Structure 1
Amino acid sequence: MKLLVTDAEGPLARALGRLASAREITAVLVPDAELDLTDAVAVAALLKQHRPDYVINAYVHNDLEPEVTVDSRWPHLIDQGVAVLAEACQQAGAALLQVSSEQVFDGNKATAYSEQDAAQPITAVGRDFLLAEQAVRDQCERHLILRSSWVFSADGRNFLTHIVAGAQQYDVIQVLDTQRGCPTAATDLARVIVAMLEQVDCDVEPPLWGTYHYAGSDVTHWHIFAEAIVKATKSCIDVEVESVEAIYPQGQDESLRPQNLELSTRKILATFGIKQLPWRRGVQDALKLSFDPPSETSDTGASS
């Protein structure tokens, strides 16, 4: 099984690279500078060069701010890039795993969202991800769409590293607390992706292609997530922070933020036997990786 992974510098791709190396799986991690997803000729050439069995489009939503900020790359990548990648995979005979987001839902449901619930995004991020999903379904027959939520990591800019940095600088950290959802460690999401692909690779009947949800357990709120990060950070280093305060939006802004983004993971459990891992464990593992990183070679480019 050979993998090709986009966004080599991103948290999910880096986690996939480490896992692939540990599992002796051949994985090519492609940096942004070496791949323009909107260039059909370049994408086709890349797939012809490496001949992967599976392509993982590993761009994840940067939940740096709970009110949702849009990664500046996305309008460029989502409007055109995912459709180009999906068509190239179809032509090359490679299967595509597209990582998507809980933001495709409007947040009005009182319970966890399942794969059967209608996608009705109210944020720009959600609309971008829904466009990407539709492009994958339209262009690539052999595909997996994996929706996840609140992805965090020791790598790069994300909610966990943002809170850790704040804990070292400020006495009080304020967190906009408008949503309930399920944090997901990038290392956990990488584990799930590899487990799914290993089972798909066995050519089981009926085929396992389709849309799935995975997120860490248990459901929580942003300020509780931040408090858990601060508590775990205090066990690793000295920090300045004394408290985490929940703040709430006022007026019209509140209606622009989905309130409940909990994902149901029953389908992925029933189909793949994949169980949720607790996000609190993921926080501890991420901080251990951050403050006591193992020695490793570069995880961009080809690794096996």
Structure 2
Amino acid sequence: MRMRLMLLGGGSALGQSLIAKGAEEDIGFLAPRPPGASWDAASLTQLLDDTRPDAVVNLAFYYDWFQNSKVDESRLAAQKETVERLAELCQYHGIILLQPSSYRVFDGARVTAYGEADEPQPLGPLGQALLDMEQVVRALCPRHVILRTGWILDDSRDGVLGRFLRRLETGEPLELADDRRGNPCPVDDVARVILAILKQLDCAAPLWGTYHYGAQEATTVLALGQCMVAEARNLRTLPPAEIIPLAHAACADAAAEPQHGVLACKKILNTYGVKPRAWRAGLPALLDRYFRHGAS
């Protein structure tokens, strides 16, 4: 890798996976910690003035964007300002910016998969914030890649998967939508995709723009939950699980969560050669890691 890579949010679950997978291919990242609780405009200005990397992967607010069940709107507004400053700095210094986003920029009203050319229409504050950040990056930093992903599953205790497994371990009834669809994406698979993009960019391929990635085989929340329960029982003795199918409209988060969040991945395959992998194949290793580390 000729490019010098900087990773904001290296301590996040996706950041750690990206660092580990990069090390397997002798790809290293500068992964500075923020001087305070999180990155802000001033600290980023100083950082990029001092380091001048060739590319930045922005996972600075990964947890809020992909794992948090509810994010305060004022915090999202501050994050948008930080991303805006980062985009300005990347343009000024000639740095490539890889900015993550998600299926949440769509309203989920259509049953067919969303492509990159489909018009975003977010439902809730998080989806709107992610779309605002996308627009800022496009406007201020032409040398960018925006990567929208499906449902990211990681091994953190307080992530989407961790919250589900804690309920399973305590024997709570599990109400799961049987008509909400999306693409589960194990965190290691997302890290693989980011590395594939970076390797192409390292070859000076000007493949800027917005791309979708979702693991192979879209599914429902109910089917995903049933699969996670079955895999978890292979690793741990767990109490009986009462799984209750629920309509999307009856879910507490129905107003903000797209009912249909399936992403079409043809563009990333044709441009970067990234083939979707089956999410089921990545689930056993992810659960094993959670029980060995995340649950401790």
Question: Quick check: TM above 0.5?
Answer: yes
Change (3 A) 1:55 1:34: farther
Conservation of the 8 A alpha-carbon contact between 1:112 and 1:264: yes
Deviates more, 1:226-235 or 1:53-62: 53-62
Change (3 A) 1:278 1:123: same
Q: Which letter maps to 2:225?
A: A
Q: Which letter maps to 2:77?
A: P
Aligned-residue sequence identity (percent) comes to 32
Aligned to 2:78: 76
Partners in 2 of 1:215 and 1:209 — Cα distance? 19
Aligned to 1:209: 208
Change (3 A) 1:36 1:170: closer
Conservation of the 8 A alpha-carbon contact between 2:212 and 2:263: yes
> Whose RCO is larger (CA < 8 A, sep 6+)?
1
Q: TM-score, normalised by structure 2?
A: 0.89
Aligned to 2:56: 55
Conservation of the 8 A alpha-carbon contact between 1:55 and 1:95: yes
- Displacement after TM superposition at 1:157 (Å): 2.1
Partners in 2 of 1:192 and 1:240 — Cα distance? 36
Q: Which letter maps to 2:7?
A: V
Aligned to 2:222: 223
- Displacement after TM superposition at 1:172 (Å): 2.8
Aligned to 2:270: 270
- Displacement after TM superposition at 1:256 (Å): 5.0
- Displacement after TM superposition at 1:281 (Å): 1.6
Structure 1 gaps of 5+ residues are: 294-304
Give secondary structure in 2 for the equivalent of 1:168: helix
**CA RMSD across the alignment:** 2.2
**Residues 1:115 and 2:126 aligned together:** no
Give secondary structure in 1 for the equivalent of 2:110: coil
Partners in 1 of 2:5 and 2:288 — Cα distance? 27
Conservation of the 8 A alpha-carbon contact between 2:157 and 2:163: no
Q: Which letter maps to 1:24?
A: D
Q: Which letter maps to 2:190?
A: L
- Displacement after TM superposition at 1:20 (Å): 2.0
Partners in 1 of 2:72 and 2:187 — Cα distance? 17
Change (3 A) 1:172 1:268: same
**Residues 1:239 and 2:243 aligned together:** no
Partners in 2 of 1:16 and 1:287 — Cα distance? 18
Q: Deviations over 1:248-303 (max 9, x none)?
A: 3449975554221100000000111110011112211211222346xxxxxxxxxx
Aligned to 1:13: 15
Q: Which letter maps to 1:43?
A: L
- Displacement after TM superposition at 1:83 (Å): 0.5
Q: Which letter maps to 1:260?
A: H
Partners in 2 of 1:212 and 1:19 — Cα distance? 21
Change (3 A) 1:31 1:230: farther
Conservation of the 8 A alpha-carbon contact between 2:177 and 2:220: no
- Displacement after TM superposition at 1:246 (Å): 2.2
Partners in 1 of 2:40 and 2:30 — Cα distance? 19
Q: TM-score, normalised by structure 1?
A: 0.86
Aligned length: 286
- Displacement after TM superposition at 1:176 (Å): 4.5
- Displacement after TM superposition at 1:156 (Å): 4.3
- Displacement after TM superposition at 1:191 (Å): 0.6
- Displacement after TM superposition at 1:208 (Å): 0.6
Aligned to 1:182: 183
